Structure 1
Amino acid sequence: MIALRKVPCTSWLLVLPVVLVATASAQTLHDTGDEFVVRTEPVDLPMHQGVHGHEHMGVFPPVGTVTIPVSGYIHAFDYSVLNGAGEEIPRVTLHHFNVIDPAHRELFLPISRRLLAAGQETGEQKLPWFVLGIPVTEGQELVVSAMLHNPTESAHHNVSLEIRMSYIPDGRPWPLFDVYPFQIDVAFPAGDKSFDLPAGKFSKSWEGSPGVAGRI
């Protein structure tokens, strides 16, 4: 995980408006006391959905907003893809998901900050909980979006993505440092991130400046 350590700063930011369309959906967040568990609205995954043809012909659960119930520090996350019976189905059915903080901007771009993200190859992510944590506050709204597809030989019904975010409640002497995730892409600033890869040696780059001072 790439993160920015918080340091005192007197810089001012111009934050441009960014519209995120979140529908009223059955997306839920459950607090277990040490995990925020988010479940997306169920969708059906036909066999081979999104595999043949264009890669973005997958299934998109409705984008929804969840509210953080208590203040704390996220230090790990993982996910499962579940069918209607609550059974885990192959993780390859996840294409990607994003957990977005619409109230704060990215470090390098004036767009909503991506708090967490993963694809089928990501796996569980952990920070050293005693040292580092991503701060979230009671009442903070997060937007959750995902794309599913189905390269398997079976159809799956009433499929939900479950995202589990491990956290430490606020008010404890740890973690010692707040960290703030940010994203970097060679195809910044916006638009389609795909590009042709010619034969032989090839390089592509993007250069930018952070919106605030800090320590990476």
Structure 2
Amino acid sequence: MLTSAVMFVAPLLLTVQAPEPGPTIRVTVDSSRKEVVVTAGPFTIAHMPANMDHGKMHGMAGTTTPLLRFEWPMEAWFRGFDIEVTDAKGGALGSQLVHHLNIMNFDRRQLLYPAVERMVAAGSETGNVSIPKTIGMPMEPGYRLAMYAAWNNLGDADIEGAWLTVRLAWSPKNLAPRPRTILPIYMDVNYNRVTDSYDLPAGRSSKSYEFTMPLTGRVLAIGGHVHDYAEFVSLEEVESGKTIIMLKVKTDPSGLLLNMPRKYYGVRGDGLKLTRGRKYRVRADYNNITGKMIPSGAMGLLAGAFAPDKLADWPVLNPENPDIEADIAMLEKIGKPSGEGEMDHEHMDHD
């Protein structure tokens, strides 16, 4: 069996070129740091008002990147990510310019929703994510991935020539002892193919979504995503009413979002058990102190690492399923103003 050092004697370079003036996406493998580095750009990041409707962003120039397709290059265990935004000269612009970023795996299905896997779902409050080497998400060479980012430029002017870099940490396939297999779990109070945001009424409000677990497994780590004026996101057992996950949001005195905590249930134990056939409720509570309704001003989701008891029970992706087809069609439209043509398919070069 080849070691990772032997496998990557020379850097692996994949380049995806869209027609001018579209962005370029480049994928390199840094074997010394054990990272797959995805770099895309250049982008013009449009200035936008606060509390902009993020559903409309996906069809407006300069507010969302197009869907950027690439392939995962090797067999490995995915175990974390970091996001950087730089200017044309390489100077740091700050990851807070990314309102949210998703990376999709078109070769695996989500657990709870009939949609392709969201292997990374990060918000501006997420920060870098790194999980222990004792766990990992199995990845195969040739997995068809894609990413997009929604921008959050609240400055006074557009930003020209920006570059987005996402570093995807991995462990080698032959790591011993073998890591425990995890896959992403995604729980949203307002799951929608176009946008998960919803109107935020004045004052206190609560929104929730109930689901039945299709299999048994354990949550090892969990984070979330919300907007300003959020108080918490939680997960409850419907029958008992017991709250089993509680992420309390840190805000400033005016209610603006500062931080969203993460919890790790698998560090000193087996993790938080979710049971097949049992009903659960994901819930997001807000306190909008502005006195006015904020259009598309709220989101509420939990996303994390889930270890299924039986990997074979994971739902299989059926590309001919109408819901899956609709999900992919929606993703293809992201970042394209009305009437814009499709991006060309990627081509790959190996150095």
| TM-score of the two chains, using structure 1 as the length reference | 0.78
Taking the aligned partners of 1:143 and 1:191, their CA distance within structure 2 comes to 17
**1:215 aligned residue:** 218
Tell me if the contact between 2:17 and 2:25 (Cα under 8 Å) persists in the aligned partners.
no
**2:28 aligned residue:** 30
Q: Which shows bigger deviation, 165-174 or 95-104?
A: 165-174
Q: CA deviation at 1:164?
A: 0.5
Q: CA deviation at 1:102?
A: 1.2
Relative to 1, partners in 2 of residues 1:123 and 1:60: Cα closer, same or farther, differing over 3 Å?
same
The one-letter amino acid of 1:39's match is T
Q: Secondary structure at the match of 1:123?
A: coil
Per-residue CA distance 1:72-124 (angstroms, 9 max, x = gap): 01112111101111111122211111010111111101101100121211101
Which of 79, 98, 101 is the matching residue for 1:94? 98
The root-mean-square deviation of aligned C-alpha atoms, in Å, is: 2.4
Alignment of 1:47-126 (within 5 A): 49-51=47-49, 54-56=52-54, 57=57, 59-126=63-130
Q: Does residue 176 of the first structure (1) align with residue 200 of the second (2)?
A: no
Taking the aligned partners of 1:149 and 1:23, their CA distance within structure 2 comes to 25
Q: Which shows bigger deviation, 206-215 or 172-181?
A: 206-215
Count of aligned residue pairs for this structure pair: 192
Taking the aligned partners of 1:189 and 1:26, their CA distance within structure 2 comes to 29
Compare CA radii of gyration and give the structure with the larger one. Answer: 2
Say which structure, 1 or 2, has more relative contact order (CA 8 Å, 6+ apart): 1
Relative to 1, partners in 2 of residues 1:144 and 1:132: Cα closer, same or farther, differing over 3 Å?
same
Tell me if the contact between 2:35 and 2:170 (Cα under 8 Å) persists in the aligned partners.
yes
Relative to 1, partners in 2 of residues 1:215 and 1:88: Cα closer, same or farther, differing over 3 Å?
same
Relative to 1, partners in 2 of residues 1:92 and 1:51: Cα closer, same or farther, differing over 3 Å?
farther
Taking the aligned partners of 1:23 and 1:182, their CA distance within structure 2 comes to 32
Q: Secondary structure at the match of 2:96?
A: helix
Tell me if the contact between 2:76 and 2:173 (Cα under 8 Å) persists in the aligned partners.
yes
The one-letter amino acid of 1:44's match is T
Relative to 1, partners in 2 of residues 1:196 and 1:146: Cα closer, same or farther, differing over 3 Å?
closer
Q: CA deviation at 1:186?
A: 1.0
Q: CA deviation at 1:59?
A: 2.0
**1:193 aligned residue:** 196
Tell me if the contact between 2:42 and 2:161 (Cα under 8 Å) persists in the aligned partners.
yes
Relative to 1, partners in 2 of residues 1:80 and 1:191: Cα closer, same or farther, differing over 3 Å?
closer
Q: Secondary structure at the match of 2:211?
A: coil
**1:149 aligned residue:** 152
Q: CA deviation at 1:205?
A: 1.5
Q: CA deviation at 1:175?
A: 4.5
Taking the aligned partners of 2:208 and 2:173, their CA distance within structure 1 comes to 39
Percent identity over the alignment is 27
Q: Secondary structure at the match of 2:218?
A: coil
Taking the aligned partners of 2:50 and 2:80, their CA distance within structure 1 comes to 34
Q: CA deviation at 1:201?
A: 4.9
Per-residue CA distance 1:154-187 (angstroms, 9 max, x = gap): 5432111100011111122244201001210111
**Structure 2 portions without partners, runs of 5+:** 1-15, 220-351
Tell me if the contact between 2:70 and 2:146 (Cα under 8 Å) persists in the aligned partners.
yes
Tell me if the contact between 1:41 and 1:61 (Cα under 8 Å) persists in the aligned partners.
no
**1:14 aligned residue:** none
Per-residue CA distance 1:43-84 (angstroms, 9 max, x = gap): 1234xx122573434522221211111110111211110111
